[in-house]
Amino acid sequence: MRLSLSAYEMELVRKKLGREPTEAEWATIDALWSEHCSYKSSKVYLRSFPSTGERVVMGIEDWQDAGALDVGDGWAIVLKLESHNHPSAIDPFNGAATGVGGIIRDIISKGAVPIALLDMIRVGNLNKDKNRWLLKNIIKGIGFYGNSIGVPVVGGELSFDETYDDNPLVDVAGIGIVRKDRIVPSIVKQPGLRIVIVGLTGLDGLGGASFASRKLSGENEIGAVQIADPFAGKIVLDVTLAVADKVDAIKDLGGGGLVVGVTEMANGLGAVVDLDKVPLRVSDLTPEEILISETQERMLFAVKEEKVKEVCKEFEYYEYPCAEIGYFTEDSIVRFRYKGKDVVRLPSDLLLSPPLFMWDVKRPIKQVKERPEINIEEAIRKTLIHPDFVSKEWAYSQFDYEVGTSTVIKPGEADASVIVLPNQKLLAVKGDANPDLCEEDAYECGKYIVAEAYRNLATVGAKGIGIVDHLQFGDPRKPEVYYTFVEALRGIAEAAKFFNTPVVGGKVSFHNENKEGKPIKPTPLIVMAGLVENKFLRPSVENGLSVVMLGLTRNELRGTFLTKLYGSFGDVPKVRLNEDLLASELIIQGINEGKVKFSKDVGRGGLVTALFPILVKNCGLEVQTSQIKTDAGDDLLVKLFSESSGRFVVLTDDPEWFIRNKKGVMASVIGKVNSDSGILKIDGKSLDLSREIENYYNYLYKVIEND
């Protein structure tokens, strides 16, 4: 058995127990002490996140499988964000599909009905056969599971960088809805409750938590990847929600399998589990295999003795396995038995108290060069043809994003997706990351991605109310990697506090490296949820509308998409959170008063990529850069490509409204929409972007489908 435990940790276990653990006990400890399950290298710093607030129903400190936020009228949304990076690198179809399944089970473990999914995907350069294969099958896997169980994929991200060649990132966020008074806990507080498992246990996913807690080795690790079965998942979804009011606690059997599920649900109490009562897909599994299998479509319930038959009867109606396998005790000892004999007998406090690590940090030395000569037209065209900025219709057209009839703003329509809740309120959601900026300055990046998500929600008329995050880095034992982790977390915490968007859940994923041991670019990611306070905006583009720009454009080019193309130079964007807040409030006010036809925040790619969605709507644009508010004088490169935060592009038929109501926000009229389809005129010079627009619509279809 391959363990992720260090020699130090193994010796610590021996000293605490006063004996040598059995093979099954080593497997148990390895799963519970893995980075994937224990957060042993991150927990100390995660405590700095703001996790409480007036809308927080369930936060990080509650030790639940998902966070929950009050959305009014007695309702709460349940949020969860997870990844399946390593499994997707080995088997992209099943890796991505089971990532969706795991998120769904986390949502239903709260008694919540899943109403939306977002997927954030990062793969390497599409010039490589393997990356095209990965992407095609990742998208198929997500669509296969989400479409089969009837949960819409309403948004996400799709980005490309060579740093992800061996180690793609596949993040999935889930959103559910539940009455606040019907949220089901994931932990038990009293002994005597029966432990009930549903689903079959097989050989797939063996040691998955340990596998996710080390770098990809290049060996055949297909056995650590779970197999997706969305049709079984649909049964689990429907019946779990049907019995939610009959049980005391629910937990998804995900990372670490049965040993982690039982121990975490016990939450310091003890448990007795008979492994030979676990329904098996494959006969003659060893006790160790039953313990750590991560076979999908399984749930764990804590049930009062008199209700066990009633709960199992609901599953048996669909011929779905359901069995009582043990009970919780008050002695704080976790015991797994096989054929009447203990194969695991370990104290809860040992299993739930791994050593916490704070590794050495070292600030990376960045090589910054002199600013090169850059041809403006060339830079515009090179930016706009990059796959990061093309239409993602190829991906989201494979998802059923309208199932459930709650999707108001669909994928690709705006900077954020909008869904209607049962209380008729509108929920906006968006995921954001910026690995290029994080590679240059992780602290500013942490602030930036929160601020950008807040701005994205504002573009549809929503105000952010809460966050879930996923922190994805290389090996934390490498000082430069750990430095970027600590700094990114510091930036996220600061911005979350400023915007009053508490972090109610998340995940840390370390050991994301290529086969040579080079870490990925630091990729913290956040998903923010917000509520539309009055009106929502479905963007529209019309000839004759004025282009208004909000915010100050600063001479901050390092860490931008431009310097990704031309090398690192200049200064890193410094995030002024108050500017993001004020500009976002002005946008929301403008939407509520009917003054905004189209709104987009100026982010990655700068003004060029903010204007491009207008051009692809069969319109032309005329822009006068002399009207752009900037600290860089007449520097056209800065005006077009700076990624300074706190800025928006707005289309309006009443530009003076923004000048009158700017309230501390810099605002100026910089151009007009015209009928010269595909023509961008900058300071009188016309650029015909017809080829770039054709590339925008066709690139992914041509590259992937013609592979």
- For 321-373, write each residue's pLDDT tens digit: 999 999 999 999 999 999 999 999 999 999 999 999 999 999 998 888 999 99
252 is in an annotated binding site: yes
pLDDT of 208 > 80? The answer is: no
Domain boundary among 308, 323, 354: 354
Tokens of residue 570, six digits: 């200049």
Average pLDDT over residues 282-300: 91
Tell me if 362 is assigned to some domain: no
How high is the pLDDT of residue 266? 95
**DSSP three-state, residue 649:** strand
Q: What is the mean pLDDT of the chain?
A: 92
Question: Can you tell me the distance from the alpha carbon of 318 to that of 333, in angstroms, rounded to the nearest whole number?
Answer: 35
How high is the pLDDT of residue 648? 98
How high is the pLDDT of residue 707? 57
pLDDT of 220 > 50? The answer is: no
> Closest Cα to residue 604, out of 374, 383, 440?
383
Which residues 6+ apart lie within 8 Å of 669 measured at CB? 546, 547, 548, 627, 655, 659
Per-residue pLDDT of 577-591, as tens digits, reads: 999 999 999 999 999
Domain boundary among 308, 339, 354: 354
Tell me if 278 is assigned to some domain: yes
80 is in an annotated binding site: yes
Tell me if 547 is assigned to some domain: yes
What are φ and ψ of residue 300, in 5° steps? Answer: -120, 130
pLDDT of 442 > 50? The answer is: yes
Tokens of residue 319, six digits: 């011929």
Tell me if 44 is assigned to some domain: no
83 is in an annotated binding site: yes
Question: Can you tell me the distance from the alpha carbon of 174 to that of 114, in angstroms, rounded to the nearest whole number?
Answer: 7
Q: In what order do the strands lie in the sheet with 407-409?
A: 407-409, 417-420, 426-433, 523-532, 462-472, 503-509
Question: Can you tell me the distance from the alpha carbon of 98 to that of 659, in angstroms, rounded to the nearest whole number?
Answer: 50
- Contact criterion met (CB below 8 Å) for 644 and 559: no
Interior CA angle at 483 toward 482 and 484, to 5°? 90
Tell me if 499 is assigned to some domain: no
84 is in an annotated binding site: yes
Percent of the chain with pLDDT over 90: 81
511 is in an annotated binding site: no
Tell me if 550 is assigned to some domain: yes
Higher pLDDT pick, 282 / 204? 282
- Contact criterion met (CB below 8 Å) for 210 and 135: no
477 is in an annotated binding site: no
What total number of domains does the chain contain?
A: 2
H or E segment and range at residue 700: helix 690-700
Amino acid at 502: P
H or E segment and range at residue 263: helix 257-266
Tell me if 565 is assigned to some domain: yes
Tell me if 237 is assigned to some domain: yes
Is 84 annotated in the active site? yes
Question: Can you tell me the distance from the alpha carbon of 625 to that of 633, in angstroms, rounded to the nearest whole number?
Answer: 10
Question: Can you tell me the distance from the alpha carbon of 110 to that of 118, in angstroms, rounded to the nearest whole number?
Answer: 19
Give the bridge partners for 472, in sequence order.
509, 523
How high is the pLDDT of residue 84? 83
Set 84, 386, 470, 511: catalytic member? 84
pLDDT of 205 > 60? The answer is: no
Interior CA angle at 94 toward 200 and 146, to 5°? 90
Per-residue pLDDT of 22-40, as tens digits, reads: 999 999 999 999 998 899 9
- Contact criterion met (CB below 8 Å) for 580 and 666: no
H helix runs in 109-170, sequence order: 129-149
Per-residue pLDDT of 266-279, as tens digits, reads: 999 999 999 999 99
Give the bridge partners for 270, in sequence order.
329
Question: Can you tell me the distance from the alpha carbon of 232 to that of 299, in angstroms, rounded to the nearest whole number?
Answer: 12
How high is the pLDDT of residue 407? 84
> Closest Cα to residue 456, out of 437, 432, 491?
432
- Contact criterion met (CB below 8 Å) for 348 and 270: yes
The burial of 579, by beta-carbon neighbours within 10 Å (0-12 exposed, 13-18 middle, 19 or more buried), is given as buried
Average pLDDT over residues 381-401: 93
Task: Show the domain range for 599.
Answer: 539-707
How high is the pLDDT of residue 367? 86
**Cβ–Cβ contacts within 10 Å for residue 705, how many?**
10
Domain boundary among 335, 354, 373: 354
226 is in an annotated binding site: yes
User: Where residue 21 sits, what CATH number does that domain have?
Assistant: 3.90.650.10
Question: Can you tell me the distance from the alpha carbon of 34 to that of 505, in angstroms, rounded to the nearest whole number?
Answer: 19
Interior CA angle at 540 toward 538 and 542, to 5°? 165
**Cβ–Cβ contacts within 10 Å for residue 22, how many?**
16
**Cβ–Cβ contacts within 10 Å for residue 620, how many?**
20
H helix runs in 385-441, sequence order: 393-396, 435-440
557: alpha, beta or left? (left if phi > 0; alpha if psi -120 to 50)? alpha
Question: Can you tell me the distance from the alpha carbon of 251 to that of 483, in angstroms, rounded to the nearest whole number?
Answer: 34
Set 36, 386, 470, 511: catalytic member? 36
Residue 62's pLDDT band (boundaries 50, 70, 90)?
low
**DSSP three-state, residue 91:** coil
Torsion of CA 369, 373, 379, 380, to 10 degrees: 120
Is 470 annotated in the active site? no
- Contact criterion met (CB below 8 Å) for 166 and 422: no
